[in-house]
Amino acid sequence: MAAVERVDVVDIDEYTEPASEPGYYAIYLRLSREPSPRWRELFEREWQSIPTGFKRRAQVVGDRVRIEIHGDDLVREQVNFAAALVERTNAAAAHSPASGQENGNRG
């Protein structure tokens, strides 16, 4: 049985950049490792399942989560939101069969 992939938020980059929408900018949260394509897919699903309102655009870029925040947002709240999203993805990965393992190990 393969080990469950776990990814953790380990730091916040000091680097920011303008986002696509006026008044927004992007921050990056450094992850413990670069996630697999399967984990990224689960991350996207978890993000889409969150009702709009509080949610900001978030995506995995290499070994980082990029989140777009508004200038009026409280940064800590958005960082907590992204960290919770990473944890939701880890939980989904733990309860989801890994790609190619549904029919046994193909190695």
Domains of the chain: 9-94 (3.30.310)
pLDDT digits (tens, 9 = 90+) for 59-83: 999 999 999 999 888 889 989 999 9
Residue 33 to residues 1, 5, 39, 62, 69, Cα–Cα distance (Å): 21, 10, 11, 9, 23
Task: Tell me the pTM.
Answer: 0.82
Q: Chain-wide mean pLDDT for the chain?
A: 86
With 80 as the cut, is the pLDDT of residue 98 above it? Answer: no
Q: How confident is the model at residue 100 (pLDDT cuts 50, 70, 90)?
A: very low
Looking up tokens 């992939």 gives 5
Closest by Cα among 52, 47, 50 to 66: 47
Query: How many CA within 13 A on the CB side of residue 65?
Result: 30
Give the integer Cα–Cα distance in Å for 74 and 58.
16
Residue 106 pLDDT exceeds 90: no
For the cut 70, the answer to whether the pLDDT of residue 101 exceeds it is no
